[in-house]
Structure 1
């Protein structure tokens, strides 16, 4: 573990930020290369790919926090549940 002031930079923490940054870059490239029109989903609001990414990331954070609160670590099953949630958001929202 690398001690760096206010935060302990471990491999999982670095991987988390790398994945989020990569998703943002990927979705920016997709938006430029394949522009889309907003669609109306189950929430009855118009969403784009970026909106659905934000909704899935926010919901996944709450799922993982809930998993830690109710089941404790390890969080692998909570992550699996968050991935299923994200797939559902991209399919139906």
Structure 2
């Protein structure tokens, strides 16, 4: 694993993604979900909204890196608001 240059932030990121996926799997088993239609006018489940959130957050972080010289913590705050909006209205 030396070729991957693991750092604590990298390991933490992948650990959080793994825990999130496990949590969503347990929630899907324990509380079966019903697809709902939001502002995109497509049926989405919790997993769909998680995927949209992760994909959008990746783009937000890349845009933050390219456009601002501010610390990445600012992008994290923007992504949290984005995630709340996706899970609420999509």
* TM bracket, shorter-chain basis: over 0.9
1:27 counterpart = 2:24: yes
- The alignment partner of 1:72 has SS state of coil
Counterpart CA distance in 2 for 1:65 and 1:24 is 23
Counterpart CA distance in 2 for 1:29 and 1:14 is 23
4+ long deviations beyond 2 Å: none
- Point out the structure with the larger strand share: 1
Report matched runs for 1:45-84 at 5 Å: 45-72=42-69, 74-84=71-81
Higher RCO, 1 vs 2 (CA within 8 Å, ≥6 residues apart): 2
The number of aligned residues is: 90
68-77 or 37-46, which deviates more: 68-77
Structure 2 residues without counterparts, runs of 5 or longer: none
Q: TM-score, normalised by structure 1?
A: 0.93
Q: TM-score, normalised by structure 2?
A: 0.96
Structural RMSD (CA): 1.2
Please state how far the C-alpha of 1:73 moved relative to its aligned partner: 5.3
Could you give the per-residue CA deviations for residues 27-82 of structure 1, whole angstroms, max 9, x where no partner exists?
Answer: 00000000011000000000000000000000000000000000135210011101
